[in-house]
């Protein structure tokens, strides 16, 4: 899919923000992990560009190698201060910092630097949903829990199990209300919602369910290995 020029992208102005620290406690250099020979960050920048809805792509980083990778892929770089680059920094202030000098962008989409399985059409659909409903603050990607959380088991200190909610014992799994969690791929919102620090979970938010294979949250080394296998298996899908 050819990348659109900023002049060909429809208004209102939309910008993507990709946070990509250099450090990562559980997976060293996670944002530059290779997928079929190309860094995760590069592939995500391509996905964002190929969605056809962004006027600018901004990578927020504290790392020189990440910055060079982002520029080589055609993204802008926002130098992230050390105060926003530790393991405990939430994403909201990172996005706020990244758009301080962005000018006229009305829509802002946070995209994770490891969302290598995300498809461009998901971002385009989220963009269309925001434009279609002016009451929305955000559109986020969701993933359904693999097993119904209502039937969760807890263990005591001796390892003995009990149902967290015994009232669901006789309820068939298919009769339980489907529950979802944030897929950890993107949050597409209005600039005002980001600037005021409005959390998507408590705002007027539309949730879009993503396929299981498209929503891998890469936190542990096993997640990275699994994501690489899925990427190879779904190439071209």
For 20-36, write each residue's pLDDT tens digit. 998 777 788 999 999 99
Q: Are 134 and 85 in contact, with CB atoms under 8 Å apart?
A: no
Residue 3 confidence class, pLDDT cut points 50, 70, 90: very low
Choose among 121, 109, 130, 145: nearest CA to 204: 130
Tell me the domains of the chain and their CATH numbers: 6-234 (3.90.550.10)
Report the pLDDT value the prediction gives residue 2, as an integer from 0 to 100.
42
Rounded to an integer, the average pLDDT of 207-236 is: 89
Question: How far is residue 148's CA from residue 53's CA, in Å, rounded to a whole number?
Answer: 35
Q: What's the whole-number mean pLDDT along residues 151-161?
A: 95
Alpha-carbon distances of 221 from 19, 44, 140, 160, 218, rounded to whole Å? 20, 19, 25, 29, 8
Confidence grade of residue 70 (pLDDT, cut at 50, 70, 90): very high
Tell me: pLDDT of 5 over 90. Answer: no
């Amino acid at each position: 899919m050819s990348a659109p020029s900023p002049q060909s992208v429809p208004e209102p102005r939309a910008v993507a923000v990709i946070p990509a620290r250099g450090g990562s406690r559980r997976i060293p250099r996670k944002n530059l992990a290779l997928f079929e020979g190309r860094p995760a960050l590069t592939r995500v920048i391509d996905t964002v560009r190929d969605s056809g809805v962004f006027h600018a792509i901004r990578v927020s980083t504290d790392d020189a190698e990440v910055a060079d990778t982002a520029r080589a892929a055609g993204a802008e770089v926002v130098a992230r201060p050390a105060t926003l680059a530790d393991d405990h920094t939430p994403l909201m202030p990172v996005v706020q910092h990244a758009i301080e000098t962005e000018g006229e962008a009305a829509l802002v989409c946070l995209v994770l630097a490891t969302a290598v399985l995300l498809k461009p059409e998901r971002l385009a659909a989220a963009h269309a949903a925001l434009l279609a409903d002016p009451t929305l603050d955000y559109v986020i990607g969701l993933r359904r829990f693999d097993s119904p959380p209502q039937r969760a088991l807890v263990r005591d200190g001796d390892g003995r199990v009990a149902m967290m909610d015994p009232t669901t014992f006789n309820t068939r799994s298919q009769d339980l209300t489907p529950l979802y969690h944030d897929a950890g791929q993107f949050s597409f919102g209005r600039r005002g919602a980001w600037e005021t620090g409005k959390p998507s979970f408590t705002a007027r938010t539309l949730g879009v369910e993503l396929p299981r294979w498209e929503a891998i949250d890469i936190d542990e080394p096993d997640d990275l290995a699994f994501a690489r296998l899925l990427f190879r298996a779904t190439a071209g899908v």
